[in-house]
Amino acid sequence: MATSNILPNYLLLLFFLLFYFSASTAIDIQIHHSTPPSSADSPLSSILQLARSADPARLSLLFSQKKTSGGTSVPIASGQNLLQTPSYVLRASLGSPPQALLLSLDTGSDSAWLPCSPCSSCTPAAPPFSPSNSSSFSPLPCSSPLCPLLNAASQPPCYAPSSSPCSYSQSYADSSFTAALSRDSLRLALDVIPNYVFGCVTSVAGPTIPKQGLLGLGRGPLSLLSQTGDLYKGVFSYCLPSYKSYYFSGSLRLGPAGQPHYARFTPLLKNPHRPSLYYVNMTGISVGRVKVVVPGQPGAFGFDPATGAGTVVDSGTVVSRFTAPIYAALREEFRRQVNASGAGGFSSLGVFDTCFSTDEVGATPPITLHMDGGVDLTLPVESTLIHSSATPLACLAMAEAPPNVNAVVNVLANLQQQNLRVVLDVANSRVGFARELCN
């Protein structure tokens, strides 16, 4: 079977990526690979080729999505197989006539950006967006009130004439890009959002810029929710399929219609120093039936807007991170219950420090995240362990927060959100979780 050859490669690639990027300075960022652009026959190219060459009827079919219970549903796939990047991508299109795009889904970012032609230093995985081929495209002038939102301090001043473009630079992971703030019609499923403001990327520096671009789903003024005003009533949800999945079987569901009634909700917290992020009040973690005790730190899980401490739900980070004291306590309890002492003990691999032989160790205890409001989110085993299919090796798929500004933040990341519907109900200040298979 093809999969037996393919899966180990993905696992190795993932380990490589996690190792490579574990040294990067931010965690509320996405992680991207630095291999050369895919060849013309890659799955991504074929998908985009298909969309571009299709006639309008075929195109609208391609981007139409069944409206099961109302609401807008945008297909999501793992970027692992499509783009060799451990992020999740959604289908969108931009411009008139629409040009097909795959954009990373990032609740930790606000603005959208994507490579535009011409861009000499971009290495897009597919032909980049062509502004000159879109009749609805327009660049924003630097006199636009939106221009200072892109980190005004580092921007060149708006010289006369004020009609010169709003050009800005932004860092992302350990790379950066330069873009021109622009607007055009964004399509998500059947919805058309005219004049969507995004960055048209004209040059990149560094290896970690997503080749395909990104859609920001954060809480700031340039995010999808903010730019669509009342269209989605401040509510969306997503279900991420397994990172190993090949299909667009996940979904971004926009608006209150069709959201799961059986979701369990915890209050959404807001940190004025990090206003884009979705904070929740995680109050504890259990391994099996044992509640993890963080020695000498009764307030270990506390939310503190002054320091940024607390717990963030993020679709753009790959591996969940916990503060050093919490992670140490969690790992010790997990190791104690797994007891690999008869199996050669535990080894490390990349960012993972609790790997063991699955030949010697049987069932592992489930991990449950406790949140305010009575939410007890028990992670399925595929969201707790990452397995090698080449060797009988599994690792606890979580890690310690990096020793930087994010050292005080716990991040519930996308490996731990597979096959889960996460409802971000900003209108009602709550975050919901519902088990859903979307593989």
Ligand X SMILES: *[C@@H]1O[C@H](CO)[C@@H](O)[C@H](O)[C@H]1NC(C)=O
By beta-carbon proximity to ligand X, the closer residue of 296 and 374 is 374
Would you give the DSSP letter of residue 254? E
What CA dihedral angle connects 79, 81, 86 and 91, to 10 degrees?
Answer: 0
Contact pick of 269, 300, 351, 424 for ligand X (by CB under 6 A): 269
How many other C-beta atoms can be found within 10 angstroms of the C-beta atom of residue 258? Answer: 16
Based on the shown chain and the rule CB under 6 A, indicate whether residue 96 belongs to the binding site for ligand X.
no
Rounded CA-CA distance 372/394 in Å is 31
Q: Which two tokens stand for residue 283?
A: 């109050």
By beta-carbon proximity to ligand X, the closer residue of 157 and 342 is 342
Based on the shown chain and the rule CB under 6 A, indicate whether residue 182 belongs to the binding site for ligand X.
no
Based on the shown chain and the rule CB under 6 A, indicate whether residue 357 belongs to the binding site for ligand X.
no
The site for ligand X, by CB under 6 A, has a size of 13
Contact pick of 143, 163, 339, 348 for ligand X (by CB under 6 A): 339
Q: What's phi and psi for 114, nearest 5 deg?
A: -160, 155
Considering only CA atoms, which of 29, 59, 114 is closest in space to residue 314? 29
CB 198 within 8 A of CB 106: no
Q: In this structure, which amino acid lies at residue 19?
A: F
Q: Which two tokens stand for residue 117?
A: 């032609």
Based on the shown chain and the rule CB under 6 A, indicate whether residue 47 belongs to the binding site for ligand X.
no
Based on the shown chain and the rule CB under 6 A, indicate whether residue 121 belongs to the binding site for ligand X.
no
314 part of the active site:
yes
Based on the shown chain and the rule CB under 6 A, indicate whether residue 133 belongs to the binding site for ligand X.
yes
Contact pick of 24, 65, 96, 117 for ligand X (by CB under 6 A): 117
Rounded CA-CA distance 411/394 in Å is 21
Least distance to ligand X, CB of residue 116, Å: 9
By CB under 6 A, which span of 138-146, 161-169, 290-298, 335-343 interacts with ligand X? Answer: 335-343
Least distance to ligand X, CB of residue 313, Å: 15
CB 347 within 8 A of CB 355: yes
By CB under 6 A, which span of 35-43, 69-77, 81-89, 338-346 interacts with ligand X? Answer: 338-346
By beta-carbon proximity to ligand X, the closer residue of 117 and 226 is 117
For ligand X, what does the binding mask look like between residues 283 and 302, x meaning CB under 6 A? x-------------------
By CB under 6 A, which span of 55-63, 127-135, 228-236, 400-408 interacts with ligand X? Answer: 127-135
Based on the shown chain and the rule CB under 6 A, indicate whether residue 342 belongs to the binding site for ligand X.
yes
Tokens 């980190």, residue?
151
Contact pick of 130, 144, 155, 439 for ligand X (by CB under 6 A): 130
By beta-carbon proximity to ligand X, the closer residue of 310 and 316 is 310
Would you give the DSSP letter of residue 402? P
| Contacts (Cβ under 8 Å, ≥6 apart) of 264 | 373, 374, 375, 377, 432, 433, 434
Which among 106, 110, 184, 425 is annotated as catalytic? 106
Based on the shown chain and the rule CB under 6 A, indicate whether residue 313 belongs to the binding site for ligand X.
no
By CB under 6 A, which span of 26-34, 77-85, 126-134, 406-414 interacts with ligand X? Answer: 126-134
CB 256 within 8 A of CB 71: yes
Q: What's phi and psi for 354, nearest 5 deg?
A: -130, 75
Which among 28, 110, 184, 314 is annotated as catalytic? 314
**Burial of 407 per CB tally in 10 Å (0-12, 13-18, 19+):** middle
- State the number of CA atoms in the 13 A half-sphere of 248 facing the CB: 20
By beta-carbon proximity to ligand X, the closer residue of 10 and 356 is 356
Q: Which residues pair with 172 in a beta bridge?
A: 175
Binding region for ligand X (CB under 6 A):
117, 127, 130, 132-133, 269, 281, 283, 303, 339, 341-342, 372
The catalytic site residues sit at 106, 314
